[in-house]
């Protein structure tokens, strides 16, 4: 499991846990406050009605005759009252009156309750004792939405409590408001959770992106590539990236020296042995002709060692570079044409056919590109027959220039397919049987890699010979090759 996923899962767990721990208590508090808000006007209604009934009792000694008619008329009205999102269509509040013993004398909605003793109910019991009386009772114990709120007010005659007037209202009418608020809170919680997770994702990416850069950098190094050091934020990550780069350089230097010592020792054995053998023979009394021949061998092997050392130093200098030192925009087609003219003089029997555009703008170091093309072209000419043909074609493909060099040589043997770019690996030339230093193609690969390009060498599929393909990014993506 990646670090990004771990951090994101942490945000998911935190958001779900926070929603569960916070939303539940909030919903309970919202429901309670709605009921408290509904109870407050019920107290006013109960006190107003109780004052009116108390006055009638004090004057007439009986309940007002219009009490039942007033409630019946109000409850019979057809309402269309829009309270925000709630449509109220009828009066849902009722009332009942008891005497001093808690016996029901009047009930606006349930006349069958007249005569019942409700002295044990809290609204009646507390009010008869001069306290605030209120209760909530279910009509159906199995249905928690069937609760009815009751609020009592005392009936006073000459300062004495002679009964109770309780107003009541089903809580069901308030559930619409509670449900609407719950939906809004749930939507708000969902939105905040999504935003929280989005922030968590961005936060996790912000944390893990530098680590991913370091990981990709380390993977590239393990594959033998030489990527530029990643740009990392923060002091600690910069120190980590620089430490990784320093460690890579130290390991590369160690492997580099070890590899070069081994390969250079191997390559120098043959010319050194030849020089030593010729020198020992020259110590004997030999005819002048043989002496000249052995001196020629010593001269040739010495020149071979000198070329090997010079090429090795050039390659070593190139391999240590991580970027181009003085890149400039140049015409790659002109570089290729100049190399062709020079190599054509070295191989007068080989025919060179070129298809080059007038302009091929690339960005790089002209000397390195010229050396790379010269190595490829000389390699093609050496493997071509004495009267063979070497074809060069340069074209713009997408946003990069592609140089193809085709020869008519014997091709690359199967066993050498994976080794052609290896240091010190060389195949015998068909015409002379001689081998090169084995550093040319390695130099080409390093030079092209520094320019952000690539190079391949493969057998041609339909005809004999090989095809070298050198690819470089164009300096201008909108440029097109002229026809």
Looking at the predicted structure, is the pLDDT value of residue 91 above 70?
A: yes
> For 282-328, what is each residue's pLDDT tens digit?
777 778 787 787 787 777 667 666 655 655 555 555 555 566 767 88
Under a CB-based contact definition with an 8 Å cutoff, are residues 319 and 249 in contact? no
The β-bridge partners of 75 are none
- The tokens for 237 are 């990550």
Q: Is 195 exposed, middle or buried (0-12, 13-18, 19+ CB in 10 A)?
A: exposed
Q: What percent of the chain has pLDDT over 70?
A: 72
Q: In what order do the strands lie in the sheet with 400-406?
A: 351-355, 389-397, 400-406, 466-473, 454-459
- Of 157-166, 379-388, 427-436, 441-450, the one with minimum mean pLDDT is 427-436
Question: Which pLDDT does position 348 carry in this prediction?
Answer: 85
Under a CB-based contact definition with an 8 Å cutoff, are residues 45 and 167 in contact? yes
| Three-class SS state of 469 | strand
- The mean pLDDT value for 388-414 works out to 88
Question: Which pLDDT does position 303 carry in this prediction?
Answer: 65
| Three-class SS state of 118 | coil
> For 114-152, what is each residue's pLDDT tens digit?
999 999 999 999 999 999 999 988 888 777 777 889 999
Encode 266-308 in three state secondary structure. Answer: HHHHHHHHHHHHHHHHHCCCCCHHHHHHHHHHHHHHHHHHHHH
Question: Which pLDDT does position 180 carry in this prediction?
Answer: 67
Question: Which pLDDT does position 53 carry in this prediction?
Answer: 93
Q: Which residue matches tokens 């580099």?
A: 256
Under a CB-based contact definition with an 8 Å cutoff, are residues 410 and 469 in contact? no
Looking at the predicted structure, is the pLDDT value of residue 478 above 50?
A: no
- The tokens for 334 are 């002109």
Question: Rounded mean pLDDT of the chain?
Answer: 78
Which comes out higher in pLDDT, residue 96 or 315? 96
Which comes out higher in pLDDT, residue 13 or 353? 353
Under a CB-based contact definition with an 8 Å cutoff, are residues 175 and 149 in contact? no
- The mean pLDDT value for 168-184 works out to 74
CATH class of segment(s) 328-473: alpha beta
User: How many residues would you count in the chain?
Assistant: 483
Q: What gap in Å lies between CA 30 and CA 41, rounded to an integer?
A: 18
Question: Which pLDDT does position 343 carry in this prediction?
Answer: 85
Looking at the predicted structure, is the pLDDT value of residue 50 above 80?
A: yes
Q: What is the CATH number of domain 3-180?
A: 3.30.450.20
Q: What gap in Å lies between CA 227 and CA 176, rounded to an integer?
A: 65
Looking at the predicted structure, is the pLDDT value of residue 451 above 70?
A: yes
Q: What gap in Å lies between CA 107 and CA 148, rounded to an integer?
A: 14
> For 241-291, what is each residue's pLDDT tens digit?
666 666 666 555 445 445 555 555 655 666 677 777 777 777 777 787 877
Q: What gap in Å lies between CA 394 and CA 360, rounded to an integer?
A: 8
- Domain spans in the chain, listed from the N-terminal domain onward: 3-180, 246-319, 328-473
Looking at the predicted structure, is the pLDDT value of residue 172 above 80?
A: no
CATH class of segment(s) 246-319: mainly alpha
């Amino acid at each position: 499991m990646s670090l990004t996923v771990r951090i994101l899962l942490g945000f998911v767990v935190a958001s779900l846990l926070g929603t569960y721990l916070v939303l539940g208590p909030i919903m309970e508090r919202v429901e309670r406050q709605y009921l408290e808000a509904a109870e407050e006007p019920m107290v006013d209604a109960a006190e107003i009605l109780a004052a009116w009934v108390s006055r009638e009792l004090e004057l007439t000694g009986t309940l007002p005759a219009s009490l039942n008619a007033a409630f019946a008329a109000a409850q019979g009205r057809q309402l269309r009252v829009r309270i925000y999102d709630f449509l109220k269509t009828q009066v849902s509040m009722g009332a009942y009156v008891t005497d001093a013993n808690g016996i029901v004398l009047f009930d606006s909605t349930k006349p069958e309750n007249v005569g019942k003793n409700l002295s044990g109910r809290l609204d009646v019991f507390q009010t008869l004792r001069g306290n605030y009386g209120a209760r909530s009772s279910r009509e159906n114990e199995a249905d928690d939405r069937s609760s009815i709120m009751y609020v009592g007010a005392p009936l006073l005659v000459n300062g004495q409590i002679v009964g109770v007037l309780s107003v009541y209202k089903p809580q069901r009418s308030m559930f619409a408001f509670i449900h609407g608020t719950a939906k809004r809170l749930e939507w708000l919680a969902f939105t905040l959770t999504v935003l929280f997770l989005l922030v968590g994702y961005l936060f996790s990416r912000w944390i893990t992106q530098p680590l991913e850069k370091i990981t990709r950098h380390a993977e590239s190094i393990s594959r033998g590539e030489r990527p530029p050091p990643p740009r990392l934020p923060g002091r600690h990550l910069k120190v980590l990236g620089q430490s990784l780069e320093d460690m890579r350089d130290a390991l590369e230097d160690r492997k580099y020296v070890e590899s070069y010592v081994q390969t250079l020792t191997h390559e120098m054995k043959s010319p050194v042995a030849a020089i030593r053998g010729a020198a020992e023979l020259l110590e004997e009394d030999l005819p002048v002709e043989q002496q000249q021949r052995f001196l020629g061998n010593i001269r040739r092997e010495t020149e071979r060692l000198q070329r090997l050392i010079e090429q090795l130093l050039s390659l070593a200098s190139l391999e240590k570079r991580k970027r181009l030192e003085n890149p400039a925009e140049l015409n790659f087609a002109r570089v290729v044409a100049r190399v062709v003219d020079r190599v054509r003089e070295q191989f007068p029997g080989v025919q060179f056919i070129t298809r080059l555009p007038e302009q091929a703008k690339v960005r790089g170091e002209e000397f390195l590109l010229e050396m790379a093309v010269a190595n490829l072209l000389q390699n093609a000419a050496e493997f071509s027959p004495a009267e063979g043909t070497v074809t060069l074609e340069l074209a713009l493909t997408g946003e990069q220039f592609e140089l193809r060099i085709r020869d008519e040589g014997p091709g690359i043997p199967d066993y050498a397919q994976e080794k052609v770019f290896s240091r010190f690996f060389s195949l015998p030339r068909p015409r002379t049987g001689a081998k090169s230093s084995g550093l040319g193609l390695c130099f080409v690969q390093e030079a092209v890699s520094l320019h952000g390009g690539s190079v391949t060498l493969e057998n041609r599929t339909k005809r004999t010979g090989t095809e070298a393909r050198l690819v470089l990014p164009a300096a201008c993506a909108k440029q097109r090759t002229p026809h």
